[in-house]
């Protein structure tokens, strides 16, 4: 099975993932409409109107799923989860464990949803997808934007009154998400690199980023300070997959997240929030990556390990207490 792409409505598996220098090619996402609270954009945030398509293996889709949970939007936005194993026609629906078939469009493959929205579609068939049941189209397939819409535009419909994009931190959150993006997409650069130079450059750069956040997280509980924000969701999804997938499949093996004191405890801290935990599925994640990336894992063998206990106690509250103590004893 190799990754395919849609060209003018026709599916082809002849897709080049790297450029002439061996670097991974990114193809921009295409559906970028906006759901707004007031409906001015043409897409009003309303209960029952939108459907989210995700893969549990996918870190980009995972962001949107976490936000849907954190905001308590499960009854407002319906959900389909694709099968973890990618088919020769891309993501497919099934009723295997952990998957949820397409109850809205009754599609067998995700590509049918793209063609329904745009019969001449050219581009990748990716998750996540936000589908509008009223206008029968894809509103948006860019995870950072879907996440933001759930947070801000659906806030009045949310059953959990948590704000992950508070006004006073907005600039900092946007900047942090941009920086974290170098980690989110960075992991794919080494994975698909076909030259030693491209691989080494990608690995070195990624670990520089991780080392930097390790230091920052020794002084504060979350990426933007003492408050959980959208930026934390963005880093969480990559950290969660790192030791089980990126370390071995993509050869990011200078260090594990387990070897970083602060990143590891930070990861456990977030995982142990019930609304994060329920969105995590390591079985789908490992099967998804190891079986779909046949360019780099042709025999599709899924490793048994590593065994990671994300429920092991974390030390982030102790860190907080230490910081409070430091502030209170420091001279005015
Ligand atoms: N920019 C997109 C990227 C989404 C993406 O790359 N999804 C991957 C799964 S992790 C996918 O569906 N890949 C299928 C393909 O490329 O054919 C986003 O953030 O939403």
Ligand 1 pocket test: which of 17, 124, 238, 290 has the largest number of ligand atoms within 8 Å of its C-beta? 124
Integer angstrom CA distances of residue 221 from 75, 224, 266, 322 = 31, 9, 7, 11
Claim to verify: residue 45 and residue 95 sit in the same structural domain? yes
- Give whole-number Cα distances, 137 to 65, 108, 132, in Å: 20, 17, 5
The answer to whether residue 73 is domain-embedded is yes
CATH code at 219? 1.20.1050.10
Return the pLDDT at 313: 97
pLDDT of residue 329: 66
Please tell me the number of Cα atoms within 13 Å of 62 on its side-chain side: 25
Cite the DSSP H helix spans in the chain: 59-70, 110-117, 143-148, 170-184, 186-192, 196-216, 230-241, 261-271, 274-277, 282-292, 316-329
d(CA 41, CA 35): 6
User: What CA–CA distances, in Å, run from 167 to 11, 170, 171, 173, 231?
Assistant: 43, 5, 8, 10, 14
- Ligand 1 and 84: CB distance under 6 A: no
Domain count, the chain: 2
CB 300 within 8 A of CB 291: yes
135 is in an annotated binding site: no
My answer on whether 117 and 221 are in the same domain is no
What is residue 317's predicted lDDT score, i.e. its pLDDT?
87
Q: How far apart are CA 125 and CA 111, in angstroms?
A: 6
Residues 32, 67 share a domain: yes
125 labelled binding-site residue: yes
Q: What is the pTM of this model?
A: 0.94
Q: Which of 125, 157, 189 is the last residue of a domain?
A: 157
Among residues 304, 228, 215, which one has the least CA distance to residue 272?
228
Q: Are residues 37 and 72 in the same domain?
A: yes
Domain boundary (134, 157, 180) is at 157
70 CB neighbour count, 10 Å cutoff? 21
Q: What is the CATH number of the domain that holds 135?
A: 3.40.30.10
Annotated active-site residue in 50, 58, 199, 246: 58
| Domain coverage including residue 12 | 5-157
Q: List the pLDDT tens digit at each of the 332 positions of the chain.
A: 457 899 889 999 877 656 667 666 666 668 999 999 999 999 999 999 999 999 999 999 999 999 999 999 999 999 999 999 999 999 999 999 999 999 999 999 999 999 999 999 999 999 999 999 999 999 999 999 999 999 999 999 999 999 999 999 999 999 999 999 999 999 999 998 999 999 999 999 999 999 999 999 999 999 999 999 999 999 999 999 999 999 999 999 999 999 999 999 999 999 999 999 999 999 999 999 999 998 899 999 999 999 999 999 999 987 777 767 766 666 55
Mark whether 188 is an active-site residue: yes
Do residues 187 and 51 both lie within one domain? Answer: no
**Domain end call among 113, 134, 157:** 157
- Report the C-alpha gap between 216 and 202 in whole angstroms: 22
Ligand 1 pocket member 83 (CB < 6 A): no
Q: Which of 217, 252, 281 is nearest to 57 (CA)?
A: 281
């Amino acid at each position: 099975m190799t990754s395919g792409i849609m060209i003018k409505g026709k599916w082809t598996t002849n897709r080049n993932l790297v450029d002439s220098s061996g670097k991974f090619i990114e193809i921009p996402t295409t559906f970028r409409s906006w759901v707004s609270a007031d409906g001015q954009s043409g897409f009003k945030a309303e209960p029952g109107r939108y459907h989210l398509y995700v893969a549990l293996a996918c870190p980009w889709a995972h962001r949107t799923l976490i936000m849907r949970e954190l905001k308590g939007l499960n009854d407002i936005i319906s959900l389909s989860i694709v099968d973890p194993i990618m088919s020769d026609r891309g993501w497919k629906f099934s009723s295997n464990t952990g998957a949820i078939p397409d109850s809205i469009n009754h599609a067998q493959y995700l590509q049918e949803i793209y063609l329904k929205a745009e019969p001449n579609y050219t581009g990748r068939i990716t998750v996540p997808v936000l589908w509008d049941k009223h206008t029968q189209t894809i509103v948006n397939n860019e995870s950072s934007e879907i996440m933001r819409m759930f947070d801000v535009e659906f806030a009045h419909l949310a059953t959990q009154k948590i704000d992950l994009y508070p006004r006073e931190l907005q600039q900092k959150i946007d900047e942090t998400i941009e920086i974290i993006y170098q980690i989110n997409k960075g992991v794919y650069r080494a994975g698909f690199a076909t030259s030693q130079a491209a691989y080494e450059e990608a690995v070195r750069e990624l670990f520089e980023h991780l080392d930097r956040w390790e230091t920052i997280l020794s002084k504060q509980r979350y990426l933007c300070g003492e408050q959980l924000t959208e930026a934390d969701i963005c880093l969480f999804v990559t950290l969660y997959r790192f030791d089980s997938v990126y370390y071995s499949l993509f050869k990011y093996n200078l260090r594990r997240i387990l070897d970083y004191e602060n990143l590891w405890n930070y990861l456990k801290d977030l995982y142990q929030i019930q609304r994060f935990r329920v969105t995590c599925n390591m079985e789908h994640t490992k099967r998804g990556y190891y079986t779909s990336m046949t360019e780099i894992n042709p025999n599709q063998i899924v490793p048994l390990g590593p065994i990671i206990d994300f429920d092991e106690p974390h030390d982030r509250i102790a860190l907080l207490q230490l910081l409070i103590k430091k502030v209170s004893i420091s001279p005015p």
